[in-house]
Amino acid sequence: MTAPRSTGDDFAPLRAARLRAMWARYCELADAAGMPHCKPRSTEGMASALCHAYRADKLPPGWWFASSLEAADIGGEDYTPRQPQQPCPHRAGTAGRVATLAERASRGEELWCEEDFA
C-alpha cells in the first residue's frame, strides 16, 4: 500500500489561509490591470506563482503585502526582502517612523536600512 499523494496543501492552516487571501487579491488586481495569471490548484502553487511575480517585479499595480508574514509566505525559507527605497526621515519611536516601517513591510522591503541610523 502506498501513501496518499499530496495535494500540495500541506502548509500550516494559517499560512494556507493567508496564501488564499493573497491569491484572491492578486487575481483581482491582475484582472483589473488586464494582466494574465495562472490558476494554481494548491496553496503551494499560489506561493510559487506569487514568488515568481515578486522576484520578476511583475506584481499588478496597487499590490501590497498586508503583513511581513504574507511577504515571507510567498518565498518560504528562500524569501529575501528588498532593500528599502529610501531612508526613513523620522526619529525612532515616532508615528512617522512606524508609518514608514508599515509601508516598507507592505512593499516587501527590509524594515531597516543603514541610513536610518545615520
**pLDDT 10s digits, 42-66:** 888 888 888 888 878 888 888 877 7
Q: Which amino acid is at 31?
A: D
For 6-15, 48-57, 75-84, 104-113, which range has the lowest pLDDT when averaged over its residues? 6-15
φ/ψ (deg, to 5) at 82: -75, 160
CA–CA distance, 25 with 108 (Å, rounded to integer): 16
Q: What is the pTM of this model?
A: 0.60
Output b/e per residue, 74-99; b: 16+ Cβ within 10 A.
bbeeebebeebeeebeeeeeeeeeee
